Structure 1
Amino acid sequence: MFEWLRTFWYGRILFLARGEHLAHFVNQVSKEGIILYHTQKSERGMRAQIKLADFRRLRRPARRTHTRVHIVAKYGWPFVAARWWRRKGLLIGIVIIASVLTILSQLVLSISVTGNKNLVAADVIERAEKLGLRTWVYSKDLDLNGIAKSLQEQLPDAAWIGIERQGTSIQIRVSEKTRPSIPDEVGNLVASRAGIVKEIMVIDGTPLIHEGETVRAGQVLIKSPQVNNMSSAKNAPVSVARGFVRARVWYSAEGQIPLVEDKVEESGRVAKGRGIKIGSRVIMLTAQSSPFEQSREEVITQSIKLWRNWRFPVEGIRVDHIELHNVHIERTVSEARQLAEQIARAEVQKKLTQGVPIVLETVKVLSDNSGSERVRVEVETYEDLAVYANP
């Protein structure tokens, strides 16, 4: 490895020597202290390699023995550097383009909003710009989590806001609050789920609940200041209630894991088969069938899209035969409880609104006489229940 690097750094020349006294030529070269590498004799003469620094020293032995020396090839760093030096403009252009791309890759060039239905994307972007999230700023200097939290506080209709950086683009993901379909309550703020009210802040409208009250999903929390009469014109503006109703909400889920279990698992061994598909016909080139006693197949097709919706009629197919084997598992009580708790916690996380903080978490072990362990996970959150009813 190091010898190759040394050879490349100093450079070498492959030459062809012709003449009637090649043996005498080699002797004269040796007397000059010149080392020849990979010497080969052919019908045309003698081929050999020599260091770039020693090539000029071949003149005296060649002149004395009347030998003609022709360069066949050159390789090594000195020749690469000389070639690039003759193309200084191209080299400078590459350096400039690489520098510009490096700088641009650290900037925010575009901002987009996804997941919004009722919220206006322009309004979300305008609020984000006031918080410092704008184009042509260094993305590493931005506190994306802090900006997302501030945006969520400024937008009452947003249940959760997340900001992701994908290269030079920033994507603001919005999850709007669920609006129950209650036609008679247009403009009112209703409860998205059941909970105990702890804080009420009314900006516009009339509160119909009080702190400490237990509310159910769909119950009107803040009534709009103007009732929407069915006899009014369709295009007449409707006043809507505005405010926040924060409450304690509970979520729970159970997980159950047996102490003794027989199941089928993947062993980790995979046999890959490749083939081609022409129309509806499949021709397998390798691994036409699974070499395992038990296995499942995963088929992956690879097609070439040449232009718009037109694809090449021949597709490549890869079939992965994944080996399966029977596993007998015996767990201790503590191991089964730990796995059941993980399953229950994962189910609770699916029910939670994204971005809502957990105030309290309780884990309860339930009695079970069926040879398994049952665990219940109960989570208490503090979140805003007020959402608008759908018209």
Structure 2
Amino acid sequence: MERRDRLWGAYAEVRLIGDRSAVGRFLTRVAAALPLWDVRESEDGLRIVVRAGDVKKLRRPAREAGVRVRIVGRRGGAFWISGLLRRPGIIAGVFLFFALFAVLSNLIWFVDVAGVTGEEAEAVRAAAAALGLKPGRPASHLPEPAAIERALKARLPWAAWVGVERTGVRVTITAVPHTVREKDAVPPPRHLVAGRKAVIVDYVVARGRPVVRRGEVVEPGQVLVSGLIGPPDRALAVAADGKVYGEVWYDVQVTVPRKRALFTTREPERLAVAVALGGRRLLLYGKPPASGDVLVDRRRWRLAFGPWSLPVALEIDRLRPLARETIDISEEAALRAALQAARAELYRRGRDVQEIRAETVLQRVIEDDKVYVSVHYGVVEDIARPAPIDAADGARPGGTE
């Protein structure tokens, strides 16, 4: 029997009851006149499959051979369709589902804005809503994307380009604003002065006149690069610019705990299956742990039919309950962690730190639950700060190189 015939035909599975010789005579006679399939032995007798319309033709040969015929099953799409037609509620539900799906897939569910944020994004949404492009609007009632783009461009004069793209039930509006390049602001005339006490290591002057030399000790507020260039009687005031590197000193104190928290996954992994619809989530299988920390590995599949994407997604979570453990670290590891924390604090407090020249541990205290260290650093950083020329005229100048 071909697969197509099995699917759309109507067939009956028949059990033959009688002694073996009678059943053999019956099969020999019937096989010459009717097609038979799936002839096989079972616990309750021999079974065969025939067309549903041929069952009546088996009655007379069976009586003559002394064999009883019992129908034990029905196969084929014809029986399935017949049973379905006796249940009009199912048919109505199927048609209603496809009709509802066709209606919902033709609606705009989401309007996203890309390229801009804040007030500009709200302006794009308002302009789109004024044109009818908003959630709940049938997509068939919208004009072509090119027409929407032109209308939005007319309503958004600050936008250099507007693009509209529809993917299923989602519309994405991309707006690119005009970029206005501001002219570089010219700073007023100024000196560069020392921000703190330091020993000059090096300097790079882009504009102005250096008035310090390498190895010189400078005080806070002392002029490093003068903004006055030229002869004193005809000095030209400019905005001094550059970097002056000096060796400065920091004392850093940090405290780090000797106990650390670790998370382990000792309990077996759990599964949770849920359906996400819009902003809601319906749990179908499994449940999260009642308490404690959980590591979640989520896989998400969105329901889509061809180019149409619905706001319905299937989510499968792999949940790993985490157990919190506290361990004690050794003194050496705690000291290394304290020095790392001290360096991080140094870089946070420093200004453009270029080099650490000295690192001296002044004090360290190791207790049961924490480690305290005090570290002295000598580092090279940019010490130059801008200062108005009038305010810095009274500063003590250094020598020139």
Higher radius of gyration, 1 or 2: 2
Instruction: Tell me the TM-score normalized by structure 1.
Output: 0.43
